[in-house]
Chain A
Amino acid sequence: MAETNIPDQLEEIIDDFQALTEPDRLQLLLEFSRELPALPDRLADHPEMLEQVVECQTPLFLHLELDQDPAGTVRLYFSAPPEAPTTRGFASVLAEGLDGLSATEILAVPDDVADRLGLAQAITPLRMRGMSAMLGRIKRKVTEATAAA
């Protein structure tokens, strides 16, 4: 198992959540859900390019691109319906926390990062599994993409 490390841009988000009381953390997750960037047209017009994360309760689609630079910069694209704000919130946290990092940095993110947001009590451990599943899927896809590159 490689050494784990939380990248700064993700650490900042975790700190923001940790600084709040639990009800306010839910509010912050809601803010994140509103800020999930829309898909660029080239993906929005081609839903078949997106892969569904089947472990999530509601449809979440994920697409990942590896830049052709030496660092292997990863670009992440998510799509989830407005009636799934919790899923959108998780996706938005991961988008802001991981987008633009290198493949190595993403693979080093600890698997329990979802727990560190401090939301388990407020939204139940059951629902947190969706976010862990998302991170797991991102890592699998990063591994596949780097192996193919």
Chain B
Amino acid sequence: MCGCYVWKFSARIVVRLKGGRTFNRKAVAVPVPAETNEKFAAYAHPERLVSTQWLADHLNDDSLVVVESDEDILLYETGHIPGSVKIDWHTDLNDADTRDYIDGEGFAALMSAKGISRDSTVVIYGDKSNWWAAYALWVFTLFSHSDVRLLDGGRDKWIAESRELTTETTSVTATEYPVVQRNDARIRAFKDDVLAHFGNPLIDVRSPDEYSGARTTMPAYPEEGALRGGHIPSAASVPWGRAAAEDGTFKERAELEQIYHGDAGLKEGDDVVAYCRIGERSSHTWFVLTHLLGFDNVRNYDGSWTEWGNAVRVPIVKGETPGSVPASR
């Protein structure tokens, strides 16, 4: 992390807590130090995670903004971490008309509306082992927001520990977030990039039945229209949830290494593309490979199976084995 906090906004975020207590938060450019503990220290980029205890201790930090990002669009409203704001993966982060993410202007407007400055420390948490929180973090990374972290264990762990939740509305004073152009090239892969990628490792993070082609969606999820079932040739199957422990926290580094290096055969320095159905579950794996295991070249193919499974003249493989590597195009 760089310590170059040069923006000078002093956004005031007014947070009302239960019991009518009101306090003003003055967001100034004071870097929030990273958490240090034994578990995180083993990861490649420990500053990308915070624990529930750390967050509870830092909730009032001036330049910290907590963001909740869930699958269920109403979950935040049933109770959220005091002072947190909500970002919805679909209605906030996706463009309404083009299948793409919002652009620099859209992101600046969103950040402004959520009280986030360019130098804010953003901690994102969510339901389902941070599946959607990781997706939001990946989109923040497309805009090179420098200090964005995940709450290890997410919403479920916070609740399991009986920590405070509130249904009070967080009132936010708009910030001035600069318009930053999205930088897709480094962490996002498109279909043509995948075709050119053959010969390098691909990770399919969907469920085993989606991988084999027995079904085209997750078990218990609605069909979302892929014409064919199967996987991208040569992709290794590593369901995303394998990276999460029972309590929703990330597994320790040694366990992750066994999964991704041992079982999936990734080697240090590999150029990796991960995909799922629309790019959300693979954001979680992108986070693990990039920030916990330290791979520098990991891209998330967000077109994923809803594009590949329908695209004309692209090869697929059915069944449980990866299949052979096609010639790259």
**Min CB distance, B278 to chain A, in Å?**
9
Shortest CB–CB separation between residue A140 and chain B, in angstroms? 16
By beta carbon, the residue of chain B nearest A82 is: B78
Per the bound structure, the CA–CA distance linking A123 and B224 in Å amounts to 16
Query: Quick one: closest B residue to A33, CB to CB?
Result: B74
Question: Is residue B263 contacting chain A, with contact meaning CB distance below 8 A?
Answer: no
Pick the contact of A133: B72, B75, B127, B222 (CB < 8 A). Answer: B222
- With A57-B220, A59-B220 as known contacts, state yes or no: A123 contacts B75, CB within 8 Å: no
Given A57-B71, A123-B91, A126-B90; 11 other pairs, CB 8 A cutoff: A26-B73, A29-B74, A30-B77, A30-B78, A56-B220, A56-B222, A59-B220, A86-B72, A86-B75, A122-B91, A130-B222
Chain B residues positioned under 8 Å from A55 (CB to CB)? 222
Chain B hits for A56, CB < 8 A: 220, 222
Q: Type the 1/0 row for A72-88, where 1 means its CB is closer than 8 Å to any CB of B.
A: 00000000001111110
Q: How far is the CB of A129 from chain B (nearest CB, A)?
A: 5
In the complex the two chains form, what is the Cα distance from A87 to B96 in whole Å?
23
A127 within 8 A of B: yes
The contact of B74 among A86, A126, A129, A133, by CB within 8 Å, is A86
Say if the beta carbon of A124 comes within 8 Å of chain B. Answer: yes
The CA-CA distance from A113 to B77 in the complex, in Å, is 25
**Chain B residues with Cβ under 8 A from A85's Cβ?**
72, 74-75, 77-78
Q: How many contacting A-B pairs (Cβ < 8 A)?
A: 55
**Secondary structure type dominating chain B contacts:** loop
Name A's B-contacting residues (CB within 8 A).
Answer: 26-27, 29-30, 33, 52, 54-59, 82-87, 89, 122-124, 126-127, 129-130, 133
Within 8 A of A (CB), among B132-147: none
Q: Which of B56-108 contact A (CB under 8 A)?
A: 71-75, 77-78, 90-91
Q: Which B residues lie within 8 Å of A126 (CB)?
A: 90, 222, 224
A83 touches B127 (CB 8 A): yes
Residues in B whose Cβ lies below 8 Å from that of A124:
73, 90-91
A-B contact pairs, 30 of them (CB 8 A): A26-B73, A26-B74, A29-B74, A30-B74, A30-B78, A52-B220, A56-B220, A56-B222, A57-B72, A57-B220, A57-B221, A58-B72, A82-B78, A83-B72, A84-B72, A85-B72, A86-B73, A86-B74, A86-B75, A87-B72, A122-B73, A122-B91, A123-B91, A124-B73, A124-B91, A126-B222, A126-B224, A127-B90, A130-B222, A133-B222
